[in-house]
Chain A
Amino acid sequence: MNMSEKSTVETINTLNIENAVDAISHIILGKEKAIRLALACLIAKGHLLIEDTPGVGKTTLAHTLAKVLGLHYQRIQFTSDLLPADILGVSVYNRDTSKFDFHQGPVFTNVILADEINRATPRTQSALLEAMAEYQVTIESETRDLPEPFFVIATQNPTNQVGTFPLPESQLDRFLMRIELGYPDNSAERELLKGKNRKELLDDVQAALSAKELIQLQKQVSNVHVSDAILDYLQHLLGFSRTSGNYVSGLSPRAGIAILNAAKAWALISSHQHVLPEDIQAVLPSVIGHRLQFIYEVTDKQALQPAEHLIQSVPIP
Chain B
Amino acid sequence: MSKHKLNINKIMWLAIGVALASFPHWQRLPLWIPISHISLLAARLYIPYQFPTLWSQRKGTINIIRLILMFSGVVAVYSSYGSLAGRDVGVALLVLLAGFKIFESDSKRDFYISSYLGYFLVITNFFYTQTIPTASYMMFIIIIMTTGLIVFNDTERQLTTFKRFKLSTTLIIQAIPLLLVLFILFPRINGPLWGIPKDAFTGITGIDDEISPGSISNLAQSNSVAFRVTFEDEIPKKSKLYWRGPILWQTDGLVWTTGEDKTLQEVSKIEFSGKPIRYDVTIEPSNKKWLFGLEMVSKLPDKTYFTPDFQLKTHKPILNRQAFSLTSYSNYRLNNEKSPDLERALVLPESYHPKTRELASKLRDEYKEPALIVKAALNWLKRENFIYTLTPPTPTQDAIDEFLFDSKQGFCEHFATAFAVLMRAAGIPTRIVIGYQGGEINPLGNYLIVRQYDAHAWTEVWLENRGWVRTDPTSIASPIRVNEGINNAMPDALINIPLGLDKNETAYRLWKRMRNTVDMVNYQWSQWVLGYGPERQKLFMKNIGFDSINWKELTLYLFICLGIIVAAITIYIFRKTPKTTEPAKKYYDIFCKKMAKAGVPRKSYEGPVDYAQRISSTRQDLKDEAQYITNLYILIRYCSNNNKLLKLKAAIKSFTPPKIISN
Residues of A at under 8 Å CB distance from B? 225, 227-230, 273-278, 281, 311-317
The answer to whether B605 and A312 touch across the interface, beta carbons within 8 angstroms, is yes
- Chain B residues near A229 (CB-CB < 8 A): 579, 581, 585, 637-638
**Residues A228 and B581 in contact in the complex (CB < 8 Å), given A276-B634, A276-B638:** yes
Q: Say if the beta carbon of B271 comes within 8 Å of chain A.
A: no
Q: How near does chain B come to A59, taking the closest CB pair, in angstroms?
A: 33
- Chain A residues near B580 (CB-CB < 8 A): 228
Residue of A273, A277, A312, A313 near B607 (CB, 8 A) is: A277
Number of CB contacts from chain A to chain B under 8 A: 48
The answer to whether A276 and B609 touch across the interface, beta carbons within 8 angstroms, is yes
The answer to whether A273 and B606 touch across the interface, beta carbons within 8 angstroms, is no
A311 to B607, CA, bound (A): 11
Q: How near does chain A come to B627, taking the closest CB pair, in angstroms?
A: 14
The answer to whether A316 and B607 touch across the interface, beta carbons within 8 angstroms, is yes
Q: Say if the beta carbon of B661 comes within 8 Å of chain A.
A: no
The answer to whether B610 and A227 touch across the interface, beta carbons within 8 angstroms, is no
Instruction: Using CB atoms, name the residue of chain A closest to B639.
Output: A274
Residue in A230, A275, A278, A317 with the greatest tally of chain B CB atoms within 10 Å: A278
Instruction: Using CB atoms, name the residue of chain B closest to A311.
Output: B605
The answer to whether A277 and B639 touch across the interface, beta carbons within 8 angstroms, is no
Q: How near does chain B come to A5, taking the closest CB pair, in angstroms?
A: 18
User: B609-649 toward A: CB 8 Å interface, digit per residue (1/0)?
Assistant: 11000000000000000000000001001111000000000
- Chain B residues near A230 (CB-CB < 8 A): 638
A225 to B634, CA, bound (A): 12
10 sampled A-B residue pairs with Cβ under 8 A: A227-B639, A227-B640, A229-B579, A273-B639, A274-B634, A274-B639, A276-B607, A277-B607, A315-B604, A316-B607
Q: Say if the beta carbon of B73 comes within 8 Å of chain A.
A: no
- Chain B residues near A278 (CB-CB < 8 A): 607-610
The answer to whether B608 and A277 touch across the interface, beta carbons within 8 angstroms, is yes
The answer to whether B607 and A274 touch across the interface, beta carbons within 8 angstroms, is no
Q: How near does chain B come to A134, taking the closest CB pair, in angstroms?
A: 34
- Chain A residues near B581 (CB-CB < 8 A): 227-229
The answer to whether B606 and A316 touch across the interface, beta carbons within 8 angstroms, is yes
Q: How near does chain B come to A190, taking the closest CB pair, in angstroms?
A: 27
A165 to B542, CA, bound (A): 91
A312 to B637, CA, bound (A): 21
The answer to whether A225 and B638 touch across the interface, beta carbons within 8 angstroms, is yes
The answer to whether B637 and A227 touch across the interface, beta carbons within 8 angstroms, is yes
User: B346-382 toward A: CB 8 Å interface, digit per residue (1/0)?
Assistant: 0000000000000000000000000000000000000
- Chain A residues near B604 (CB-CB < 8 A): 315-316
Q: How near does chain B come to A116, taking the closest CB pair, in angstroms?
A: 36
Instruction: Please list the 8 inter-chain residue pairs (A to B) with the smallest Cβ-Cβ separation, ordered nearest first.
Output: A315-B604, A277-B607, A278-B607, A274-B638, A274-B639, A227-B638, A278-B609, A229-B637
Taking residues whose C-beta sits less than 8 angstroms from the other chain, chain B's interface range is: 10 to 19
- Chain A residues near B610 (CB-CB < 8 A): 278
Residue of B579, B605, B609, B639 near A314 (CB, 8 A) is: B605
Instruction: Using CB atoms, name the residue of chain B closest to A226.
Output: B638
Instruction: Using CB atoms, name the residue of chain B closest to A230.
Output: B638
Residue in A227, A228, A311, A315 with the greatest tally of chain B CB atoms within 10 Å: A227
Instruction: Using CB atoms, name the residue of chain B closest to A279.
Output: B607
- Chain B residues near A312 (CB-CB < 8 A): 603, 605
**Residues A228 and B605 in contact in the complex (CB < 8 Å), given A275-B638, A276-B634:** no
- Chain B residues near A277 (CB-CB < 8 A): 607-608
- Chain A residues near B607 (CB-CB < 8 A): 276-278, 281, 316
- Chain B residues near A275 (CB-CB < 8 A): 638
The answer to whether A316 and B579 touch across the interface, beta carbons within 8 angstroms, is no
A312 to B585, CA, bound (A): 20
Beyond the given pairs A277-B608, A316-B604, A316-B606, 7 more chain A to chain B contacts, judged by CB atoms under 8 angstroms and listed by A's residue number, are A225-B639, A274-B638, A274-B639, A276-B607, A277-B607, A278-B610, A316-B607
Q: How near does chain A come to B499, taking the closest CB pair, in angstroms?
A: 73
The answer to whether B605 and A316 touch across the interface, beta carbons within 8 angstroms, is yes
The answer to whether A276 and B640 touch across the interface, beta carbons within 8 angstroms, is no
Instruction: Using CB atoms, name the residue of chain B closest to A273.
Output: B639
Instruction: Using CB atoms, name the residue of chain A closest to B602.
Output: A316
Q: How near does chain A come to B123, taking the closest CB pair, in angstroms?
A: 44
- Chain B residues near A276 (CB-CB < 8 A): 607-609, 634, 638
Residue in B585, B607, B608, B640 with the greatest tally of chain A CB atoms within 10 Å: B607
Instruction: Using CB atoms, name the residue of chain A closest to B609.
Output: A278
A312 to B607, CA, bound (A): 11
- Chain A residues near B605 (CB-CB < 8 A): 281, 311-316
Residue in B603, B607, B610, B638 with the greatest tally of chain A CB atoms within 10 Å: B638
Instruction: Using CB atoms, name the residue of chain B closest to A229.
Output: B637
Q: How near does chain B come to A156, taking the closest CB pair, in angstroms?
A: 30
Residue in A311, A312, A316 with the greatest tally of chain B CB atoms within 10 Å: A316
A275 to B640, CA, bound (A): 11
- Chain A residues near B603 (CB-CB < 8 A): 312
- Chain A residues near B639 (CB-CB < 8 A): 225, 227, 273-274
A105 to B639, CA, bound (A): 46
A313 to B608, CA, bound (A): 17
A273 to B635, CA, bound (A): 10
A312 to B639, CA, bound (A): 24
A315 to B588, CA, bound (A): 14
- Chain B residues near A225 (CB-CB < 8 A): 638-640
A177 to B580, CA, bound (A): 33
- Chain A residues near B634 (CB-CB < 8 A): 274, 276
A204 to B580, CA, bound (A): 52
- Chain B residues near A227 (CB-CB < 8 A): 581, 637-640
Instruction: Using CB atoms, name the residue of chain A closest to B635.
Output: A274
A229 to B578, CA, bound (A): 12
The answer to whether A228 and B579 touch across the interface, beta carbons within 8 angstroms, is yes
Q: How near does chain A come to B452, taking the closest CB pair, in angstroms?
A: 72
- Chain A residues near B640 (CB-CB < 8 A): 225, 227-228
- Chain B residues near A311 (CB-CB < 8 A): 605
Q: How near does chain B come to A227, taking the closest CB pair, in angstroms?
A: 5
Q: How near does chain B come to A247, taking the closest CB pair, in angstroms?
A: 17
Q: Which residues of B (16-55) have their CB < 8 Å from a CB of A?
A: none
Q: How near does chain B come to A127, taking the closest CB pair, in angstroms?
A: 41
